[in-house]
Amino acid sequence: MKKQILLMVCATALLSSCRIYSSYDRPDVTTSGLYRDTASVNDTLAVTDTTNMGNLPWTEVFTDPKLQALIQKGLENNTDLLSASLKVKQAEAMLTSARLSFLPSFALTPQGTVSSFNHAKATQTYQLPVSAS
């Protein structure tokens, strides 16, 4: 009896909790000029110059030949970058394997035995099961 009452209370609470809140209505807010918009007369936070160091290649930023050679050597021998590259290749192989699992598969498992008891004539048995799925 207590179990049924508890079950009814839980079911009522769960069903009534679905309609607690009303639907959300998005308020109309003007966001122009709040953060890094294109330059205009009224905007005080607008960005007028978008060129920065992040858009330049590192060879143009660091012009010293010795420093460029060291950076290039570091990039070539970067074990983190190499391991990340290998992980990407591994993920691609796993994706290929997962996609190939949807293709049909065929199996051919031939078996053969030769048996003889007390120097009698040998008996040869062959099996050639084929399965497809």
Which pTM does this prediction carry? 0.32
Please give the tally of structural domains in the chain: 1
Q: pLDDT tens digit string along 51-88?
A: 677 778 888 888 999 999 999 998 888 888 888 889 99
Give the helix/strand (H/E) hosting 128: none
Mean per-residue pLDDT of the chain:
81
Q: pLDDT tens digit string along 34-43?
A: 665 555 555 5
What length is written for the chain? 133
Is position 1 within any domain?
no
Average pLDDT over residues 126-132: 89
**In the predicted model, is pLDDT for residue 102 greater than 80?**
yes
Is position 70 within any domain?
yes
Query: Which structural domain range is residue 73 located in?
Result: 59-98
Is position 89 within any domain?
yes
Give the helix/strand (H/E) hosting 102: none
Q: How buried is residue 105: exposed, middle or buried, by Cβ count under 10 Å (0-12/13-18/19+)? A: exposed
Contact 36, 49 (CB under 8 A): no
Is position 94 within any domain?
yes
**What percent of the chain has pLDDT above 70?**
78
Provide the pLDDT for residue 60.
86
Is position 2 within any domain?
no
Is position 83 within any domain?
yes
Is position 64 within any domain?
yes
Is position 29 within any domain?
no
